[in-house]
Each structure stands twice: as structure tokens, then as C-alpha cells.
Chains A and B, each alone.
Chain A
Amino acid sequence: MDAWKTTKEEERILEVENLVVEYTSDKEVIHAVNGVSFSLNKGETLGLVGETGAGKTTIAKSIIRILPDPPAKITAGKIVFDGQNLLELPEASMRKVRGRKISMIFQDPMTALNPIFSVGNQIAEAIRNHEKVKRKEAARKAMEMLELVGIPAERYDEYPHQFSGGMKQRVIIAMALACNPELLLADEPTTALDVTIQAQVLELMGDLKNRFGTSMILITHDLGVVAEVCDKVAVVYAGEIVEMGSREDIFDFGAHPYTLGLFQSLPSLTGEEKRLKPIGGMLPNPADLPIGCNFSPRCPYATEQCRKEKTGLTEVREGHYIRCFRAQKEGDK
């Protein structure tokens, strides 16, 4: 699977190859991620889109290796970052990557900050964890970071409870960016925020990305957010990428029945449609996946072949990959 072969090798910052993650409980094995491959170039933003339980967060946590083990286990695959396979790094070296070269922003700004330290302190601490700087120097830099995300430096000594949700999320972004990471993993960074605040935060993230050239993986279920900030999109379903390509590929030429279903489930802001077309059924049980295509039980176009065989990602146009017999055949025409 050589996704996006067209891009030059030296720009490549991350390459995930055939990643498989399983959660083991007493009785069953949950197949959370089943052979996911993608790559990311410097300065690019990749959107991982999908529903709850699709495995998006597990993919991100595998990249910075913070999955709880047990029960989670990465059973196969490679994650190559800056030429190193992260999965082979000893924990001590991984600790130098985590937070310094790759940072992660979590969904809930309410619980991601420690309530008993001032926000400035927490940012300074993050800096001191990764750079050998004096306390004063770290504090100065933390203030800079606060200003950068639009919070006055005077609020350095205030505590998380004195901040609103949007402000907290900005503090978290400041913390994640404090060490100037090369890759930012953002897991639903604006889901808990109100729309007007979300607009501010998205604006800020886009702005910072342009300024520092940070690459980003944005995990979201909101196709609107994807349309706004992502260069590439991967649609994840039941632990597999079912479709990926450039933003245009997905939004204009999306062809996987699941991708189409997602779009049709959304009420439009302009159209006159009378009734939504939901995708029937539910996500399959990840401990008991279908024999054939994972989407086949919910797919309106599923055939005998779909129910019996799995298919791989096929390139239907340059850089546009689909995991679907039907779409592949249509692509041939």
C-alpha cells in the first residue's frame, strides 16, 4: 500500500503502515484497528473522520504510544516518524518524542488540565519537561504561548476553573505547541465548544499551523470542520480506512457508500430536502466483525461478494483510495 506515492520522500513526516490494534478482555478480542495505512507530509493536515467507536482515537494514541497495555496491544504494523519506527523505540527514547516532536490535544478541555496548578505553571512545566531551560526562561516562554493563543499574559497565575471552556482549550493548544512539535494530533479539539468559540479555535489552529508549518492529524466526526481545515481526509469505519484522498476527492467525488451515507445523514443548511437518509443499522461489534466487507450489513448496495470477501484499498484516481468492490468497478469504467 503506497499511499500518495506522488509526494516526494523528503517531505514525508509520518508513515503508518498496516497498523493493527487489539483490545483483549477476559473472553473476547476487540479488533479496534485493522490494518490502517496512511502517510502525512510536512505542513499537511489529515482529517480522520468517522463515528464513535470507529477506532480514530486508538490510531492517534498508537502513534504516540499511550494506549493502555493491557488491554490494548499493537499486534502489527509500522509507524515511521522522521525515519524512525516509533513502535521499535525503547520507552526512554519515546518519551523524548512524545510532547516534544509529537503532541496530542484531547477532546475534553474540562479534564485535561490539572485543577490545582495555575495554567501558566502547567505550560511552563510542559516546556521544562522537554527543554533544559531555567524556570524563568520557561515562564517567559509560557507567557508568550498564552499571548499567542489570544490569552493575556496577565492571566498566567490563574487556575483552570477561572477559564471558560474555549479558553481552556486554547491553553491546551498553547501547551501542545509550547515545544514546537512537528506533528500535532488533535482529537476532537472543538467538539465540546460552542460554534462561535469553535470558529475562534479553528481560526487559531489554522493560523498557528501556517506560521509554524506544523503537520496535523485532526480527528473529528464533523464533516464541516474537515471541509474547513483539512488537506487530506481518511474516512474510518470499524477500524479500517474505507476511503481516503484529498479534500476534493472526498467532498466532490466521494464514492464509498459509507462516505455517501455520512453526507446524506447531515441536514443541510441551505437545501430544501424534506427527509434525511440515515444509514440503517449500527456499527458492527468490533469483537465479531462480518466475514466480508465491514460495512456490508448496512450497505444498500451490498452483493453476495461483499458479504463473503474483504477487499483492499484500491486507487481509483490518483491519490484517491476506496475500499469497495462497487466503487472499484465503477472506477474501471
Chain B
Amino acid sequence: MTPILEVENLKKYFYTSRGVLHAVDNVSFRMEKGTTLGVVGESGCGKSTLGRTILHLLDSTEGKILFKGEDVTHVDRKKLGKLREKMQIIFQDPFSSLNPRMSVSETIMEPLILSKRFSRNEMEKLTGQLMETVGLAERLYHSYPHELDGGRRQRIGIARALALDPEFVVCDEPVSALDVSIQAQILNLMQDLQEERKLSYIFITHDLSVVRYISDEICVMYLGQLVEKSPAKELFLRPLHPYTKALLSAIPIPDIHQKRKRILLKGEVTSPINPKPGCRFASRCMYATEQCRQEQHLQEIENNHFVACNRVTEIN
């Protein structure tokens, strides 16, 4: 089967007054239809930029994006319209991602209007159905976002994304702004929708327990680069990259008996502007040596487990 999405050497640079910001640098991966690819990393690692570049919300600087085997890196406006019906996005902030002056139904209906495929009646019917699908009560049809809580607002965002029956959805921190009990509701909803509609998700988050729960495979990003990619459970059992190890050990676990050795990283994420060649994690890495100044490449260490670290076999 052709993968739903392939990304090859994708780069997104921003040209700022202080230099070239390497937001996404040489990222490659592929994902199968109906699966969820988790993308984790800390703020500024480029995970949101990656999602937006794939969706053409940002123009890519270099590299290739293939959707269902077709090269969609450069598309004209008409083609983009078609593409966007198939590729959608759910945003992080349920407060700023909804136009405060549009009602629930207007927001959900907008993609239907733009597609110009439906009559007014059909659109109203579809909107009602979508609201039911995501668990929004009918009486909220004319409500405005400010009258609703975060969980319900996020359901509106999901309904909007699903309106034209996409195959692929980028979920950019969709539950980070929600309380745990609501977060669980939304995660369950997203999983149900995935099963019903054979959706493929790219799930971008900084919350590692959420990403483990929802993903089939996980990519770990650091300063614009992919440092490790592995099946979800495997990553948590056997993290291989020094950064992944530190990241996983830093998660506070809600269990008072599990004692772990925490790897405390020194320093903080450095700037992605004009990065020096070589491993970008080296300055914080306890295993760093001279050879880390060379370019690192993703290599398959075990079946489906890729790591970008020259010393990976030595340190594990």
C-alpha cells in the first residue's frame, strides 16, 4: 500500500534579522494510512512548523511532500483547494482558534460553504450531523464560542476539521489546553473518529504520556531535526538517543513507588538560528565527543527504530 504521507528532506527556514532560523531541518519520514504518528519535542523544536509546512500553511524551503504517492510539494491554488479537503488541522488553543464573532454552526459550516458543493439545506443538515458526531448538543447550534468551555470549543474545532471528510489530520497539541478529565474525553473522541473514518493523524504534542497513548509511531524532534523515530511502546521501553532518554526521564509520573534515575540536562535548548553543523544536542549531551561535530544521520538501529546519533551503539 502506498503510504498516506511521505516527507523527504523537508526544510523550512525563516530569514530573520538575526540570521537564518532552521525551524525544520532535513526531516524525512513516512506514515501509513489509518495510523497515528506522534511528534514530540520541546517548545521551539519545530514540531508545529513541521505540521504547518506539510499542510502548506507555510511554504517549504526545500524537500518533498508526497500525499498518497503524489508529489504535492508545489501545487497551484486550485489543486491546493482539493488537497485541503483531504488534509486538515486541529489547533491547540480552543480559545484563539475559533472566530469569536461566528456561531458554532457558522464555524462548522464554513468549510462546507467554501467547497461550494452543497445547498443551504444540505449544509445545515451536515452541520447538525457533524455536531452530533463530535458530541455537541443541538441546542448549541447558535451559541458563540465565548459561551462554551474549552472541551466543547475543541469539539467545534474537530467538527470543522472533519467537515469535508479528510483522510489526514494534523493535530497540533489538541488537548494541551484542557483539564485532564476533559482531555481524556477528547482523546477518546479522536480515537473513535480515527477508527470510524480510517483517519491518519500526525499528533504534535509536548505531553509524552498522551503521545504514547495515542500514537503508533513517534518522532522525537530537537532543534528542527528528527533525532529518533520508533514504534510508540518501543520508544518508551528502549529510548536510544541521549536526548530522548533525558526527555523521558524528566516526565513526572503520578506514582509514588516508581523510583527512576532522572537524567538532568544542563542548560537549555539553544537557538535554532544559524546552528553550527554537527549534532545540535551535543552542548547538553553527557556523551558528547569530538565526533559529534560531524553531521548526524538517521540510521535504522533496530527494526523500524531510527536514531540520529553517531555514538548510539557505544552508549547503549
Contact = CB atoms under 8 A, between A and B. Distances in A.
Given A202-B252, A247-B256, A267 B187 contact: yes
Interface stretch (B50-58, B206-214, B293-301): B206-214
B208 A269 contact: yes
A203 B179 CA distance: 25
A153 interface: no
B256 A252 contact: yes
Given A267-B213, A275-B188, A276-B187, A228 B208 contact: no
A265 B250 contact: no
Interface stretch (A9-17, A74-82, A191-199): A191-199
Given A261-B181, A262-B181, A267-B212, A197 B252 contact: no
B277 interface: no
Interface residue tally on B, bucketed by range: 35 or more
Contacts of B210: 267
A203 B249 CA distance: 13
A52 B255 CA distance: 22
Contacts of A278: 181-185, 188
Interface string A130-153: 000000000000000000000000
Nearest to A197: B268
Nearest to B185: A278
A282 to B, nearest CB: 6
Q: Which of B180, B182, B210, B253 has the most CB of A within 10 A?
A: B180
Q: Which of B212, B213, B247 has the most CB of A within 10 A?
A: B213
Contact of B181 (A51, A226, A248): A51
Interface string A275-313: 111111010000000000000000000000000000000
Contacts of A223: 254
B189 to A, nearest CB: 10
A188 interface: no
Interface string A231-251: 000000000000000011001
Interface residue tally on A, bucketed by range: 35 or more
Interface string B126-155: 000000000000000000000001110000
Interface in A157-212: 164-167, 194-200, 202-203
A195 B251 contact: yes
Contacts of A252: 256
Contacts of A4: none
Contacts of A106: none
B62 to A, nearest CB: 28
B192 to A, nearest CB: 10
Nearest to B246: A196
Given A199-B252, A227-B255, 15 more contacts: A51-B179, A167-B268, A195-B42, A199-B249, A225-B252, A247-B256, A252-B256, A263-B254, A265-B183, A266-B184, A266-B254, A267-B210, A270-B236, A278-B183, A282-B182
6 contacts: A195-B247, A199-B265, A224-B252, A263-B254, A266-B209, A278-B183
